[in-house]
Amino acid sequence: MKKSFLFLLAICIFIGNPVNGQVGKLLNKVSKSVTNDAVDKSETGSKTTKQQPEPKCACEQPDQIFDLGGTLKLMYSEINISIKDDGSILVKDIITGNFYIVKDGVTQGPIKAGDPRLEGFDNVNNSDASKATTSWANNEYITKSGEKFLIKFGGKNYGPYGEIKEFKVTKSKDKFAAVVVENVPVSEADGKKMEEAIKNAKTDQERMDLSMKYAQEMQQKMAQGGGPMSLVPKLVTNIPGASYDQLKSVGGTLNSNVKYDDILFTTYDKVIDLSNNVLLTLKSDAAGAKDLFINTNNTKYAYYNYGTLTFSDGTKLAELFNVRWVKVNGQAYLAYMYYSPKKNAIMQCKIQF
């Protein structure tokens, strides 16, 4: 009885869940270790790894820009690869620590840290940097004369202007356009002084008197500086036929990147030339696009957003980056880059646009 009971118990234990669970665990362990081995193999021996397909944006004859197989490594911050507006890429030798600049497939270097050629690689698309340029301190075409600004372009002088609101130069650096205000009734320094004085006034009457005094001074300055029209923003450019008029304009900001070697105004949903002609009206999906490109005939446009280049006919190219204009044999092309798993390299394609 006792023996048979023990035997029965042993059988129950053997076929029961706890033992099965243990076997299961054991099998899991074995299968896991096998799969891990397989994974490890595929990871270490890159030749046995299943190759990812080329992205759909790959073209038939791409140019190889940068081979990632060597000791040179791309420089990237947490969210950005160091790429300049002209398409050059910053890479670093992981052994020596020297930098190299790769442009159009040609590697320049070694470059030591602190070299001026490295400037501009660390502030890609920084809106704060663009805000900071309103003082125009580092602009090679703008100088300050007293409280006013002067533009010197192509050997000619323009100005002086009380304020330069916008300033753009084409890629070929032969055309420029600026939105300026001839006279500013109150300079930034004066404004601060007035604000301070009004803030420190002890009575309402004192505040009122100061306001009246400053209003009078501003009126006088306006009269001396050419009247109220001198306070209206106007366009200054060397582009022939430009007739921008702030009062008739639908607004917009100057853009030297939307069309190859040209400067146009872009609004939320329109592209306008400097003579106030609407060249293109964007569909709702493209409205407000930051990186917009229009072709030479003003018949098509494309916009880039988060890795995808979308054309006005609805065509989409995905998994690409660094879209910009290039000129080959006098013809404008829209160039873009992508990563090729097949070559382990960054490649570039060009579309005639």
Q: How far is the C-alpha of 272 from the C-alpha of 173, rounded, in Å?
A: 21
Does 344 sit near another protein (CB under 8 A)?
yes
CB of 71 to another protein, least distance (A): 13
CB of 151 to another protein, least distance (A): 27
Q: How far is the C-alpha of 330 from the C-alpha of 76, rounded, in Å?
A: 33
Does 224 sit near another protein (CB under 8 A)?
no
Kindly state the tokens that stand for 183: 């006279």
> Which residues between 120 and 139 bind another protein (CB under 8 A)?
122-129
Q: How far is the C-alpha of 174 from the C-alpha of 171, rounded, in Å?
A: 8
Does 320 sit near another protein (CB under 8 A)?
yes
Q: Are 302 and 312 in contact (CB under 8 A)?
A: yes
- Residue nearer to another protein on the CB measure, 158 or 339: 339
Q: What number of other Cβ atoms are within 10 A of residue 251's Cβ?
A: 11
- Residue nearer to another protein on the CB measure, 279 or 335: 335
Q: CB within 8 A of 284, min separation 6: which ones?
A: 269
- Residue nearer to another protein on the CB measure, 77 or 331: 77
Q: Which of 58, 81, 111, 194 binds another protein (CB under 8 A)?
A: 81
Q: Token pair 């900071």 is at which residue?
A: 132
- Residue nearer to another protein on the CB measure, 102 or 180: 102
Q: How far is the C-alpha of 176 from the C-alpha of 164, rounded, in Å?
A: 13
Q: How far is the C-alpha of 274 from the C-alpha of 344, rounded, in Å?
A: 44
Distance between first and last Cα of the chain: 94
- Amino acid identity of 31? S
Q: Which of 10, 13, 23, 76 binds another protein (CB under 8 A)?
A: 76
Does 238 sit near another protein (CB under 8 A)?
no
- Residue nearer to another protein on the CB measure, 5 or 306: 306
Does 70 sit near another protein (CB under 8 A)?
no
Q: How far is the C-alpha of 130 from the C-alpha of 165, rounded, in Å?
A: 12
Does 35 sit near another protein (CB under 8 A)?
yes
Q: Is 179 exposed, middle or buried (0-12, 13-18, 19+ CB in 10 A)?
A: buried
Q: Which of 1, 2, 61, 79 binds another protein (CB under 8 A)?
A: 79
Please name the residue ranges forming H helices in 77-140: 127-132
Does 302 sit near another protein (CB under 8 A)?
no
Does 118 sit near another protein (CB under 8 A)?
no
Which candidate, 141, 91, 79, places its Cα nearest to that of 117? 91
- Residue nearer to another protein on the CB measure, 39 or 212: 39
Q: Segment near another protein (CB under 8 A), from 5-13, 39-47, 229-237, 243-251?
A: 39-47
Q: CB within 8 A of 179, min separation 6: which ones?
A: 164, 165, 166, 233, 234, 235, 236, 244, 254
Q: How far is the C-alpha of 142 from the C-alpha of 136, rounded, in Å?
A: 7
Q: Segment near another protein (CB under 8 A), from 119-127, 197-205, 245-253, 264-272?
A: 119-127
Judged by CB under 8 A, the number of residues near another protein is: 42
Q: Segment near another protein (CB under 8 A), from 97-105, 117-125, 143-151, 160-168?
A: 117-125
Q: Token pair 């009885």 is at which residue?
A: 1
Q: Are 151 and 176 in contact (CB under 8 A)?
A: yes
Does 307 sit near another protein (CB under 8 A)?
yes
Q: Segment near another protein (CB under 8 A), from 101-109, 232-240, 252-260, 334-342?
A: 334-342
CB of 157 to another protein, least distance (A): 34
Does 47 sit near another protein (CB under 8 A)?
no
Q: Which residues bind another protein (CB under 8 A)?
A: 31-32, 35-36, 38-39, 42-43, 49-50, 52, 55, 68, 73-74, 76-81, 122-129, 290, 306-307, 319-322, 337-339, 341, 344, 346
